[in-house]
Each structure stands twice: as structure tokens, then as C-alpha cells.
Amino acid sequence: MPIKKRGTGLTAVADAWQLADIDVTASYPIRPYTAVMAEVAKRIANGQMKCEMVHGEGEHAQFSIAHGASMAGARATTGSSGVGVTYAFETYSPIAGGRCPIQALIGDRTLDPPGDFGSEHTDCLTLRDNGWIYGWAENAQEALDNSLLCFRIGEDPEIMLPQIVAMDGYFVTHISQDYVMPDQAQVDKFLPPFKPEFRLDVNKPVIMGPQIEPEMGPPLEWDRNVVMERVKELIPKATAEFNKIFGAKYAPFVDEYMTDDADMVFLLQGAHAVTCRSAIKYLREAGYKVGMCRLRWIRPFPDAALQQILPKFKVVGVIDTNTSYGAAGGGGVLLVETRASVSEVANKPIIQGFTSGLGGETITHEEFFKMADMMKQTLDAGKIIQSSTWVNFNDYDKAAIEVKAAWEQAAPSTK
Amino acid sequence: MAVAEMIKSIAQAPEKEYYLPGHRTCAGCGPALAYRLIAKASGKNTIFIGPTGCMYVANTSYACGPWAVPWTHAQITNGGAVASGIEVAFKQLIKKGKIKDEFPNIIVMAGDGGAIDIGLQAASSMMYRGHDVLFLMYDNESYANTGIQVSPMTPYGATTMFTPSGPEIPEAKKFFPKDPMAIFCSGGHPEVKYGATASISYPVDLMNKVRKGLAVEGPAFLHVQCPCPKGWTYPADRTVELGKLAVETGMWFLYEIEDGVKKWNYMPKKLKPVEEYLQTQGRFSHLQPEHVAKMQAWVNQRTQLLGMEVPLPPAQ
């Protein structure tokens, strides 16, 4: 029987890893992802999980250990946060290129400087060009579910790619919440055992990762490109099957909220969707016809889904909880990807960018109201007023202008 | 391999090869010779991990490789970590009954850079954690794959692309090399129960050390000197001869440390002057008498430090 539990995104993923009967995991401490390893260590010590935990000497080693374990045929996991994610950078492409479907849990965290523990999506987004499958979970339940879904998609013999279960640090990794742990029979029905066609086997010797000549590289890269396209096809199928077996209601790519009659929407990913929904209720009462689109995946990017969905609206406000200094349009990664997705669509909406929720700050109701107000001005003007806006820094809404004027009056020397 | 069966002579060495012809190593390549002997000694139930280096690039060109056993690439940084993952995976999968394999011989074939320089962290941690892996360092005393650049194992006074000799730096490389046996096999890594130095010029000794390293439970370390005609600048037919000359002049030593006890495997009656070794190689051709004297003083000091009691040449 499924069990009702109270826990965090980290204990929820530990539950998923237990249900998936992982063989090897590799740890190294860094906040905020660390508690998943503490949880797994406890379960190994008390016999609840049959798994070998290797204490890596750093994140580079963690991912390398999981890579080696996967080549030997094990279902292997690891995880990290912040600068730990970037310390392991060398290993991401070899793991994906070697078609080793390991799974990493990333509880995101601001990159240094300034040594901020808070959630920010930048660390994990730096991996987006390496060929890993990933998306952000909104809460503990989705973290657990994404873990199982990722194993299923990544280990598919036609795919064989590593995956990241990403989640907002603290908001999802640490806030205690209710979720349901499915039972083993459900999981066994959904997730077959990991049996790779090729592994390190002395009775069937293979050579893995050989050096090649320049003309032999592009076909391998083409294959990695093709397989990512195949992931886009598999996601709806696997999600539908997941929903059926576990009684869930996930949209394959984009979770929509109050979009039926909306003329403008917030587009974002991860835990800030929770506050966003609540802010939308107030905004609706105030007469704003606003909704929300939450991305379930960042790789592969749900471009086809957005091409279907976004033309329904007049203005899209993309909220980036990440930095991509000097990016096209002045915003973050999601703004660039969203604009590119619909660039060739005839009746595309006006897309403007907001940078908010950096450094682990909550995006407050007031900030959502401000963004809605700025989107409304865009709607009324029928054109972009400002390509992208860092909320609380260069807002152009009326309330913000008034606050700024008051501040300048109080401190004239800063003019 | 539970118990090491020792090889008594080269005539009794196994005939079966697991490192086969069909690669692009240079004529006279020391590391290729090492690979052949090591693969012969370890046999069929072996998995090699090859961090980036000559033995990756020159062996696996064109997406194939000369091994008759499984081989995988690792980054130059992480041979020890990838091997750790492979080892725990086999242990766990066998324990859970998910595979029926016999636990294999797992050998990391790392160059000096992949073992003691950029790969040091992963190697050290693998040994600290006690993984049942033979970490083998084939030492050709430079980053040879990229065209001969200095590594921590490059001898004092050798020229490389990054250490040319010139009026401001007449001796070329200024530092003396690291001592990997001191790092891995002198108590600093308590799980390492067996460590040894070896040379391609003493093939029976090398093969037996591979077998001993594989027979011990837990990590083992082998430091194998492999002369490199291209990097050291000498004619390709002198590789084996130079390996012997290194031992006869104290530029290389053959010993093993088993459970903390050191044993000499070969001790010359007396050391030949180091100059006899230096003059065979182009990389030392610029050295002045004061540099040769400095090298001799280092050899003499090191010989005494290691406890080799043989007559030494004068150091001046």
C-alpha cells in the first residue's frame, strides 16, 4: 500500500531510490542537498536499503564513481549543490556521451560569490548543454515522482542518458510537507530492472570511450542529438503511464494554471510556482486575467509544447531565478529559450523577462503583483516596454517608480 | 585472482596475450611493452581503466583498441574514482545476485600525470577507501601524449617542451621528482598492503608484482618505469637497455613493500656513475658538470635514504 508521509524533497527522493533498489551511490557534503545522503546512509546502516555508499573526496569524484558503477551495470546515483555542481563539470559530458544513465539529485544553490546558501537555478542550468535529462520539481511529491520517471526514461534502451532531479534548495529540499510514497508493486510495474546491453563484462569484452579521429566525432554527437529528440517523444508516453499506475495528474511538459481565459501568464519552473498560484488568486480578484505556465523539463526544452500553448496569450512574463550575464535580451536562461522556442510562430505573444528570487529569496506576492502590473502595461501598450527587468532593481511599474523617487529624495547624494 | 601463481622465468610466462598488435604506439615504446606484460600476467578475468594519456590515445585511435579484455577510458583526473565505482558495483551486484560474474581483476593503467599529478586526488582517495583495485602507474617521466611536457616525474635537468634549457635556466628542469612510493606505500594510506616499483627491463619481476598486487585484498600500487624514446631522446632499439642502466646507476630502484616490510628485488653490486645514464639521452645533453654533480649527489642521498647499502660513485 502507498504510505502517506511527511518529509522533504530529499527524504522523498531517498524513498524513490529505495524503491528503485539502487546499487551504488556516491556522497560528498554540501548544503542543501546533503540530507539525502544522510538519509540513504541511515537506511543502509539499518538494512533498509541494499546499496554501497562511496564517500567521494569531492563532487568530481562523486560523479566519476557513479559513472564507473554504471559502466559495470549498477543503478547508480549521486547529487550535489552550488559550487559542488560546477566542481564536477568535467564529468558531465563523458557520462552522457558514454550513455551511462546515472541519476543525480541537485538541490540548487547560489554560486559563489558571495557564499550564499540560498536557492538559485544557475548552478544546475550551467549543465544544460551536456546531454542530461532534467527538470525542476515543485514539491516533495514531484521530486519523488520525477526520480522514478527519470530512471524510467533515462534507462530506456533507446535512450540511455543520465538524469538530474533538480529542486529548489530549502524550498523543496528542507520544508517539511506531505507526500505519498508509492508501494513496491507499483514501482516494479513502472520501472524494470536496469540491464544495460553493454557493460564491463570479461565474458563479453567491450572497449568503452575510445579515442577517435576527427571525422568520427560528429556522428556520435549527431546520435546524442537524435536521442534527445527521442526523449521528447518518450516523455508524454512515460508520463501517461506514470499517471495511470500511480494515479497522478502530471502534464507531460507544461503545468498550466488558470490559463483558460488568461491574456497574460507567468512562465517559470520549480517551487516559486506555489507562491505564484497564490498570487494569481489575488490578481484575479483585482481584475488581472493572469495565469501560469510551469515548465516540468528544461532538457529537453519543451519547445513544441510552448508553440502550442503560448499563442493563446498576449503577454508572457518569463521569471528567471538564475543569472546568465550578457545573455540575449538581458534576462536569464528561460527567457532566451522561451523566445527562441516561439520565434517562428506567427501569432506569438509578447515575451518579457523578469529576474527574481535570486540568492534564495522568496518571490513575494508583492513582487508577483509588480510583475503583473508591468505585464499589464506591456499588454496595454501592445509592445515591449523593457526587454527584461530585474525585479526591485529596474522596475518600471508605478509603485516601483514612486518608491524609487522617495528613496532618492531621502538620499539625494546617490543621484 | 585469489592466489598469485608466481612466474619463475620468461620461458614459463603465459603464452596467451591480452594486449595484441594493432595500435599506434611509437617504435620502442616502453609503456606498450609494460601493457603487454601486465595484461599477460593478469589474464582473462581483468578490466582495465585507462585514464587519458599515451596508452589511451595511441592504443584506441579509430574507435578500437588492442585489448582482448574489457577496457574503459577515464578522464586523466579520475582513474581512481572510476575504478572505485566499478569495484563497488561488482561487489554489490554479485552480493545482490544481480550478476553471476566472478569478481574481476581491476587495474587502473595511469600515466605519471594521471597518477601523481592531476590524478593524485582520485588515486589517493581510492587507496584510502580500500577499494580492491591495482593502481598501476606507468611512468615515462613526462606528459608524452601531448608532445613531451614536464610532469612531476620528469627528472631534474631534463628538457621538455615546457622546460627548455637556455642561458637563464641552463639546467632546464629545476625540481627533483616526486616519490610516489613514499606517498602511497609508506603508511600514509593504511589500506595499501602491497606496493612495488618495477621496470619493463625486468619482465618476470614486473609480471610477478602484478600478480602479487592483484592477489592482496584491497588496493595495491605499482610504479613501473617505462623508457620513452621520443620523450627521452634516444634510439628506439635501446629501451630495454636504458631501463637496466637506470637501475644500475640508481636512477631507478626495484623494491616492494608488503605489509610494511621493504624487500629489495634487485641490488647492483655497486652503482655506476649517473653520467653513464645521462649521456645516453638527448634530454640531458645540455647539462654542465655542476648539474651532473648535483644529480649524482641526489642519487647518492636517495640511495642512502632508501637503505640500499652499495658502494656509491663520488658526488662531485
Q: Does any domain span residue B69?
A: yes
Count of structural domains, chain B: 1
Asked if the Cβ–Cβ distance from B88 to A54 is below 8 Å, we say yes
Domain A254-414, CATH among 3.40.50.920, 3.10.310.30, 3.40.50.720, 1.50.40.10: 3.40.50.920
pLDDT at position A399 over 70: no
CA A394 – CA A401 distance, rounded (Å): 9
Count the Cβ atoms, other than its own, within 10 Å of residue A70.
30
* Chain A interface includes B188 (CB < 8 A): no
Q: Does any domain span residue B314?
A: no
Average pLDDT over residues B208-235: 98
Read off φ and ψ for residue A184, nearest 5 degrees.
Answer: -60, -35
Show the beta-strand stretches assigned E in A8-162: 24-27, 52-55, 76-80, 103-107, 133-137
CA distance B171 to chain A (A): 36
- Quick check: B227 and B233 in contact, CB under 8 A? no
pLDDT at position B315 over 80: yes
Cell of A2: 502507498
* Chain A interface includes B269 (CB < 8 A): no
Supply the CATH number for residue B26's domain.
Answer: 3.40.50.970
Q: How many helices (H) and strands (E) does chain A have?
A: 14, 15
Q: Which domain holds residue B298?
A: 14-306
pLDDT per position as a tens digit, B53-86: 999 999 998 888 999 999 999 999 999 999 999 9
Q: Report the phi/psi class of residue B3: left, alpha or beta, with left for phi > 0 and alpha for psi in -120 to 50.
A: beta
pLDDT at position B133 over 70: yes
- Select the residue from A50, A63, A71 to test the B interface by mutation, using most B Cβ atoms within 10 A: A71
Output the CATH code of domain A3-246.
Answer: 3.40.50.970
CA A287 – CA A278 distance, rounded (Å): 15
CA distance A142 to chain B (A): 29
Among B70, B74, B90, the residue with its CB nearest the CB of A205 is B70
pLDDT per position as a tens digit, A113-160: 988 999 999 999 999 999 999 999 999 999 999 999 999 999 999 999
- Select the residue from A21, A195, A207 to test the B interface by mutation, using most B Cβ atoms within 10 A: A207
Q: Does any domain span residue B169?
A: yes
Residues of A in contact with B61 (CB under 8 A): 210-213
Among A61, A71, A210, the residue with its CB nearest the CB of B86 is A71
Name the closest residue on chain A to residue B55, using Cα atoms.
A211
pLDDT per position as a tens digit, B177-186: 999 999 999 9
Q: Would you tell me the crossing angle of helices B120-128 and A59-71 to the nearest 10 degrees?
A: 70
pLDDT band at A412 (very low <50, low <70, confident <90, very high): low
pLDDT per position as a tens digit, A53-66: 999 999 999 999 99
Name the closest residue on chain A to residue B125, using Cα atoms.
A57
pLDDT at position A414 over 80: no
DSSP labels, B47-70: EEEEESSHHHHHHHGGG--SBSS-
pLDDT band at A415 (very low <50, low <70, confident <90, very high): very low
Select from A13, A403, A405, A61 the least CA-distant residue to A181: A13
pTM for the model stands at 0.96
- Quick check: A191 and A20 in contact, CB under 8 A? yes
Q: Does any domain span residue B78?
A: yes
pLDDT band at B3 (very low <50, low <70, confident <90, very high): low
Q: Does any domain span residue B235?
A: yes
> ∠ CA(B140), CA(B145), CA(B150), 5° rounding?
60
Query: E strand or H helix at B82, and its extent?
Result: helix B79-95
Residues of A with CB under 8 A from a CB of B: 23-24, 26, 50-52, 54-58, 60-61, 64-74, 76, 90-91, 94, 193, 200-203, 205-213, 216
